[in-house]
Protein backbone atom coordinates (compact mmCIF):
# COMPACT_ATOMS: atom_id res chain seq x y z
CA UNK A 1 0.00 0.00 0.00
CA UNK A 2 1.29 3.47 -0.87
CA UNK A 3 1.38 6.33 1.58
CA UNK A 4 -0.69 9.11 0.01
CA UNK A 5 0.62 12.66 0.16
CA UNK A 6 -1.46 15.27 1.96
CA UNK A 7 -0.60 17.89 -0.69
CA UNK A 8 -3.39 18.97 -3.09
CA UNK A 9 -3.44 17.23 -6.47
CA UNK A 10 -2.58 20.40 -8.41
CA UNK A 11 0.55 21.01 -6.25
CA UNK A 12 1.70 17.44 -6.91
CA UNK A 13 1.01 17.90 -10.63
CA UNK A 14 3.01 21.15 -10.83
CA UNK A 15 5.93 19.51 -9.01
CA UNK A 16 5.80 16.55 -11.39
CA UNK A 17 5.73 18.85 -14.41
CA UNK A 18 8.70 20.85 -13.13
CA UNK A 19 10.65 17.61 -12.61
CA UNK A 20 9.87 16.53 -16.19
CA UNK A 21 10.97 19.92 -17.54
CA UNK A 22 14.17 19.77 -15.48
CA UNK A 23 15.00 16.32 -16.81
CA UNK A 24 14.30 17.50 -20.37
CA UNK A 25 16.58 20.52 -19.99
CA UNK A 26 19.36 18.29 -18.65
CA UNK A 27 18.83 16.04 -21.67
CA UNK A 28 19.38 18.94 -24.10
CA UNK A 29 22.49 20.24 -22.29
CA UNK A 30 24.93 18.32 -24.53
CA UNK A 31 23.25 19.95 -27.54
CA UNK A 32 23.62 23.36 -25.90
CA UNK A 33 27.31 22.76 -25.21
CA UNK A 34 27.86 21.69 -28.82
CA UNK A 35 25.95 24.76 -30.03
CA UNK A 36 28.51 27.02 -28.32
CA UNK A 37 31.10 25.90 -30.87
CA UNK A 38 28.72 26.73 -33.70
CA UNK A 39 27.85 30.31 -34.72
CA UNK A 40 25.11 30.62 -32.08
CA UNK A 41 25.92 33.20 -29.44
CA UNK A 42 22.89 32.28 -27.33
CA UNK A 43 22.90 28.49 -26.83
CA UNK A 44 19.69 28.42 -24.72
CA UNK A 45 16.64 30.32 -25.91
CA UNK A 46 13.91 30.99 -23.33
CA UNK A 47 10.24 31.32 -24.25
CA UNK A 48 6.83 32.22 -22.87
CA UNK A 49 3.60 31.00 -24.44
CA UNK A 50 -0.18 31.29 -24.37
CA UNK A 51 -2.16 28.38 -25.84
CA UNK A 52 -5.85 28.05 -26.67
CA UNK A 53 -6.85 24.38 -26.40
CA UNK A 54 -9.44 22.95 -28.73
CA UNK A 55 -10.08 20.01 -26.47
CA UNK A 56 -11.70 17.98 -25.38
CA UNK A 57 -11.85 19.71 -22.96
CA UNK A 58 -11.42 23.24 -24.35
CA UNK A 59 -9.39 25.74 -22.34
CA UNK A 60 -6.34 27.97 -22.20
CA UNK A 61 -2.84 27.62 -20.71
CA UNK A 62 0.15 29.85 -19.94
CA UNK A 63 3.60 28.29 -20.15
CA UNK A 64 7.36 28.77 -20.06
CA UNK A 65 10.17 26.80 -21.63
CA UNK A 66 13.59 26.74 -23.19
CA UNK A 67 15.25 25.25 -26.23
CA UNK A 68 18.78 24.70 -27.43
CA UNK A 69 20.30 24.52 -30.89
CA UNK A 70 21.15 20.99 -32.00
CA UNK A 71 22.76 22.17 -35.24
CA UNK A 72 21.88 24.87 -37.72
CA UNK A 73 18.35 23.69 -38.51
CA UNK A 74 17.14 21.87 -35.37
CA UNK A 75 16.05 23.15 -31.94
CA UNK A 76 15.29 20.77 -29.07
CA UNK A 77 13.25 22.12 -26.21
CA UNK A 78 10.95 21.57 -23.27
CA UNK A 79 8.13 23.59 -21.82
CA UNK A 80 5.55 23.39 -19.07
CA UNK A 81 2.13 25.03 -19.08
CA UNK A 82 -0.90 25.23 -16.83
CA UNK A 83 -4.35 26.72 -17.05
CA UNK A 84 -8.07 26.10 -16.92
CA UNK A 85 -10.37 23.98 -19.03
CA UNK A 86 -14.12 23.53 -19.18
CA UNK A 87 -15.58 20.04 -18.89
CA UNK A 88 -19.27 19.30 -18.31
CA UNK A 89 -19.89 22.95 -17.46
CA UNK A 90 -17.27 23.00 -14.69
CA UNK A 91 -13.83 24.61 -14.73
CA UNK A 92 -10.90 22.37 -13.91
CA UNK A 93 -7.14 22.81 -13.59
CA UNK A 94 -5.03 21.31 -16.41
CA UNK A 95 -1.29 21.16 -16.88
CA UNK A 96 1.14 19.75 -19.42
CA UNK A 97 4.81 19.23 -20.19
CA UNK A 98 6.17 19.01 -23.74
CA UNK A 99 9.47 17.81 -25.15
CA UNK A 100 9.80 18.62 -28.84
CA UNK A 101 12.20 19.22 -31.72
CA UNK A 102 11.65 21.92 -34.32
CA UNK A 103 13.12 21.88 -37.83
CA UNK A 104 13.61 25.47 -39.03
CA UNK A 105 13.17 26.18 -42.73
CA UNK A 106 14.97 29.56 -42.41
CA UNK A 107 17.45 29.21 -39.50
CA UNK A 108 19.49 32.35 -40.31
CA UNK A 109 16.45 34.67 -40.58
CA UNK A 110 17.08 35.57 -44.22
CA UNK A 111 13.36 36.34 -44.47
CA UNK A 112 11.15 38.22 -42.01
CA UNK A 113 8.96 35.16 -41.37
CA UNK A 114 10.45 31.71 -40.81
CA UNK A 115 8.30 28.59 -40.94
CA UNK A 116 9.09 25.45 -38.94
CA UNK A 117 7.73 21.96 -38.34
CA UNK A 118 8.31 19.72 -35.39
CA UNK A 119 7.32 16.84 -33.24
CA UNK A 120 7.77 15.32 -29.85
CA UNK A 121 5.88 14.13 -26.81
CA UNK A 122 3.33 15.81 -24.55
CA UNK A 123 2.23 14.69 -21.09
CA UNK A 124 -1.07 16.21 -19.92
CA UNK A 125 -2.72 16.18 -16.52
CA UNK A 126 -6.11 17.11 -15.18
CA UNK A 127 -7.91 16.16 -11.99
CA UNK A 128 -10.48 13.92 -13.66
CA UNK A 129 -8.34 12.12 -16.24
CA UNK A 130 -5.02 12.08 -14.33
CA UNK A 131 -1.90 11.75 -16.57
CA UNK A 132 -2.06 11.10 -20.29
CA UNK A 133 0.76 11.03 -22.83
CA UNK A 134 0.50 11.70 -26.56
CA UNK A 135 2.69 12.24 -29.56
CA UNK A 136 2.93 15.90 -30.57
CA UNK A 137 3.07 17.40 -34.08
CA UNK A 138 3.84 21.12 -34.54
CA UNK A 139 3.72 23.58 -37.41
CA UNK A 140 4.49 27.24 -36.90
CA UNK A 141 5.97 30.46 -38.18
CA UNK A 142 8.32 32.85 -36.37
CA UNK A 143 8.16 36.57 -37.01
CA UNK A 144 10.72 39.36 -36.95
CA UNK A 145 12.60 40.46 -33.82
CA UNK A 146 11.04 43.21 -31.71
CA UNK A 147 12.67 44.50 -28.50
CA UNK A 148 14.89 41.42 -28.22
CA UNK A 149 12.03 38.92 -28.60
CA UNK A 150 10.79 36.92 -31.57
CA UNK A 151 7.09 36.07 -31.77
CA UNK A 152 5.66 32.90 -33.29
CA UNK A 153 2.25 31.42 -34.02
CA UNK A 154 2.09 27.65 -33.62
CA UNK A 155 -0.50 24.94 -34.28
CA UNK A 156 -0.05 21.75 -32.27
CA UNK A 157 -1.81 18.40 -32.49
CA UNK A 158 -1.39 15.89 -29.69
CA UNK A 159 -4.02 15.09 -27.09
CA UNK A 160 -6.25 17.62 -28.86
CA UNK A 161 -5.60 20.69 -30.98
CA UNK A 162 -3.98 23.86 -29.72
CA UNK A 163 -3.17 27.24 -31.18
CA UNK A 164 -0.36 29.08 -29.44
CA UNK A 165 1.31 32.46 -29.43
CA UNK A 166 4.97 32.11 -28.42
CA UNK A 167 7.53 34.76 -27.44
CA UNK A 168 11.11 33.51 -27.75
CA UNK A 169 14.23 35.38 -26.68
CA UNK A 170 15.88 36.37 -29.97
CA UNK A 171 19.25 35.00 -30.98
CA UNK A 172 21.43 37.71 -32.54
CA UNK A 173 22.41 35.75 -35.65
CA UNK A 174 19.94 32.87 -35.98
CA UNK A 175 16.37 31.87 -35.21
- Domain ranges in the chain? 9-169
Query: What is the band of 13 on the pLDDT scale with cuts at 50, 70, 90?
Result: low
- Inform me whether the pLDDT recorded for 101 exceeds 60: yes
Mean of per-residue pLDDT scores for the chain: 83
- The tens digit of pLDDT for each residue in 70-97 reads 988 999 999 999 999 887 778 888 899 9
Residue with more model confidence, 10 or 27 = 10
What fold is seen in the domain 9-169?
Answer: Porin (2.40.160)
- The tens digit of pLDDT for each residue in 127-159 reads 777 788 999 999 999 999 999 899 999 999 988
Task: Output the pLDDT for position 58.
Answer: 86
- Inform me whether the pLDDT recorded for 34 exceeds 70: no
Q: What value, to the nearest 5°, has the Cα angle with vertex 162 and ends 75 and 55?
A: 145
Amino acid sequence: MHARSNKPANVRAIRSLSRIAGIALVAVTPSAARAQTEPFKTPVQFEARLDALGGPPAGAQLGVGANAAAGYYVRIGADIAAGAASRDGAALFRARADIASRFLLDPFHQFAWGPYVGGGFTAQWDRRASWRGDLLVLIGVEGPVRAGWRSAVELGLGGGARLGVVLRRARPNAR
